[in-house]
């Protein structure tokens, strides 16, 4: 543990990940190195350390575990999905779920926004989720994941997913949010919002957010990825974060 702590603390922004993170959750995954993840801009070459680099790392992907920044359980499962067999990965999912350290909904959201990469297979994760969650279908319906991918592709910084805030004595969850500039992005799908109660509730939520000083953008499944990125870029324009549109 001391050696791992020394590695993480010596690299600015590093997070314990992969097999090293699994060990922090008392799980086993094969590795003969300390494993960390850094931003794409950081390249770490240290004997005995395997440093992964990620361009799609959200605040929800990181937790504090035993005093160190470490991968969340859902990010851990996705990052190990190409290294472990489906049986091994399924046992890991079940072990974490039994200990209430993993929610299937969080795992589905994380898997939906991450593409296949060396050592990572979201398709395997989606199959394992489907076997544990009746009615689950990854498909192309995960609009939130699509928005994240569109922002990443156009060079925009990534928002916080499922941001919880208190407004007007009510507790709300914003689909995607930039809290520092009070920009809220709400995901609208006709299949979900066709019910009257949902329609009315969303309008009340938008009113409360607006009165609290938030700018609210609504993204629909009928918008193209470019239109989604352009709308959010305009919302971020005061910070000069237009990206490459």
Q: Which of 101, 132, 163 is the last residue of a domain?
A: 132
Question: Per residue in 81-110, pLDDT tens?
Answer: 999 999 899 889 988 988 889 988 899 889
Q: What is the pLDDT of residue 244?
A: 44
Strand order in the sheet with 49-54: 49-54, 34-39, 15-16, 68-71, 62-65
Residue 138, in any domain of the structure: no
Q: Work out the average pLDDT over 121-141.
A: 71
Q: Which of 132, 167, 195 is the last residue of a domain?
A: 132
Q: Work out the pLDDT band at 232, boundaries 50, 70, 90.
A: very high
Query: Residue 167 maps to which CATH number?
Result: 3.40.960.10
Structural domain count of the chain: 2
Same domain, 116 and 178: no
pTM for the structure as a whole: 0.61
Residue 186 falls inside a structural domain: yes
Same domain, 110 and 49: yes
- Mean pLDDT, range 111-132, rounded to an integer: 87
Domain that holds residue 223: 143-239
- 27 CB contacts (<8 Å, ≥6 apart)? 92, 95, 96
pLDDT confidence bin for 6, thresholds 50/70/90: confident
- Domain contains 244: no
Cα–Cα distance, 85 to 225 (Å, whole number): 34
Instruction: Tell me: do 128 and 170 sit in the same domain.
Output: no
29-63 pLDDT, tens digit per residue, is 877 789 999 876 666 677 778 888 888 888 899 99
175/127 same-domain check: no
Cα–Cα distance between 167 and 61 in angstroms, integer? 25
**pLDDT tens-digit readout, 187-210:** 876 555 544 455 667 778 889 899
Same domain, 31 and 120: yes
């Amino acid at each position: 543990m001391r050696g791992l702590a020394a590695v993480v603390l010596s690299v600015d922004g590093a997070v314990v990940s992969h097999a090293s993170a699994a060990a922090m959750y008392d799980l086993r995954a094969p590795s003969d190195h300390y494993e960390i993840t850094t931003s794409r801009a950081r390249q770490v070459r240290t004997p005995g350390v395997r440093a992964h680099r990620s361009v799609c790392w959200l605040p929800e992907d990181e937790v504090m575990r035993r005093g160190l920044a470490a991968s969340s359980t859902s990010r851990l499962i996705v990052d190990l999905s190409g290294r472990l067999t489906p049986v091994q990965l399924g046992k890991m999912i079940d072990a974490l779920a039994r200990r209430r350290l993993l929610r299937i909904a969080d795992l589905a959201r994380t898997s939906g926004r991450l593409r296949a990469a060396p050592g990572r297979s979201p398709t395997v994760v989606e199959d394992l989720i489907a076997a544990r969650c009746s009615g689950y279908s990854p498909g192309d319906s995960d609009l939130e994941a699509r928005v994240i991918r569109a922002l990443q592709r156009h060079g925009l910084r990534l928002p916080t997913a499922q941001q919880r805030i208190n407004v007007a004595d009510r507790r709300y969850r914003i689909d995607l949010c930039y809290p520092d500039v009070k920009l809220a992005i709400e995901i609208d799908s006709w299949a979900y919002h066709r019910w009257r109660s949902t329609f009315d509730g969303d309008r009340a939520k938008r009113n409360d957010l607006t009165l609290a000083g938030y700018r609210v953008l609504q993204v629909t499944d009928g918008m193209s990825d470019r239109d989604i990125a352009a709308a959010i870029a305009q919302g971020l324009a005061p910070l000069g974060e237009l990206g490459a549109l």
